Amino acid sequence: MKLRSGGVGAGVAAAAVVWTLVFVAGPALAADAGCTATDGEPVCLDGVSVSDERLAKGESATLEATVRNAGETPANATVVLNTAGPDNVTRSFTLGRVRLAPGETRTVTQPIDASTPGSHGLQLLVFDGSGARTYDSSAVLTVAVTERGLGGALDRSEYALGALVGAVAVVGGLGYRRR
């Protein structure tokens, strides 16, 4: 899976957050249950979604996250996407840095290209402006990428099957004509 550049920020690859993605992300981290300031952390994820959780190789989807300042003071936030691919490679991408007034909500979007077949885990984190403190994190979203085949663009094996069926039809037609 690849992130398309040109979204709300430049992607910065770093393989560091497997623990957060795989082991730490549990029900306690689900940010989609609502946004309230907890433990003095004013910024939270109010919703995280992917436009399509099943993609064929070469297709695209959009990742969308709503970030809200539920606190009473302005806050700086950095939105980071952690990914884990089927080949166990993890990456982190900074999607954007936002300054939020009290009660303000912003939506961050990122196009995602399906380039590697398999199951991909996506998790969003929101850090304070310096990156020293985690404000919130989403539950892990899963996007399944399949090879193109039946139902999509024709691939080499489908062309071969079509040629075989055509050849059998021609030979059958010639045999029927000779009777």
* Judgement on whether residues 42 and 123 belong to the same structural domain of the protein: yes
Count of structural domains, the chain: 2
* Judgement on whether residues 158 and 72 belong to the same structural domain of the protein: no
- Position 41 scores a pLDDT of 73
* Judgement on whether residues 59 and 123 belong to the same structural domain of the protein: yes
- Position 119 scores a pLDDT of 92
* Judgement on whether residues 50 and 110 belong to the same structural domain of the protein: yes
* CB neighbour burial string for 122-145, b if at least 16 within 10 angstroms, e if fewer: bbbbbbbeeeeeebbbbbbbebeb
State the Cα–Cα distance between residues 30 and 133, nearest whole angstrom: 17
Range of the domain at 6: 2-147
Dump pLDDT digits (tens) for 80-106.
999 999 888 899 999 999 999 999 999
* Judgement on whether residues 138 and 71 belong to the same structural domain of the protein: yes
* Judgement on whether residues 161 and 178 belong to the same structural domain of the protein: yes
What is the pLDDT tens value at each position of the chain, 179 positions in all? 655 544 333 332 222 232 233 333 333 333 334 566 556 678 988 889 999 999 998 999 999 999 999 888 899 999 999 999 988 889 999 999 999 999 999 999 999 998 889 999 999 999 988 878 888 888 899 999 998 765 555 556 677 787 888 888 888 877 777 66
* Judgement on whether residues 15 and 68 belong to the same structural domain of the protein: yes
Domain of 15, CATH number, reads 2.60.40.3880
Contact 65, 112 (CB under 8 A): no
* Judgement on whether residues 96 and 159 belong to the same structural domain of the protein: no
* Judgement on whether residues 143 and 158 belong to the same structural domain of the protein: no
Neighbours of 7 (CB within 10 A): 19
* Judgement on whether residues 18 and 52 belong to the same structural domain of the protein: yes
DSSP H or E stretch at residue 143 = strand 141-146
